[in-house]
Structure 1
Amino acid sequence: LIGPASESAMNIDLTIALRNRTERHRGLTVNLLPGKSRKNMAKQLEDLGNYRNR
C-alpha cells in the first residue's frame, strides 16, 4: 500500500508507539525518583511535546 492512506496509518502507529514508550518511561521515572523528579518530568513531557510538534 503506497500513498496517503498507508502514510497516515504509519503515522498513527508511530504516535501510539511514542505514547506507549512515553508512558512506560514516565512510570519508570516516577518509580525511581518519587517527588524530586516532578519538575524534570514536566520538562521531559514539554520537550516531547515540542519534539512532536516540530
Structure 2
Amino acid sequence: MVIDQVMSDRDREDEVDDDVADLEDRRMLDDFLDVTKDEKQIMHLWNSFVRKQR
C-alpha cells in the first residue's frame, strides 16, 4: 500500500480484496465432500470471474 492510500480520506471498506476472497472461496469449496477436485476448480474459476465482473 502506498502512502497516498494510507492517508486518503476515501473509505475502502466496500472494496473486495481478491486474494482474500479467493482464499475464502477455496476454503468453502474444500468443505464439499461429494464434489471432485476438477469440479471445485471450475466452481472457483467461475466464482472469481463473477466477482471481477461487478
TM-score, normalised via structure 2 length: 0.40
1 or 2 for the larger relative contact order (CA 8 Å, sep ≥6)?
2
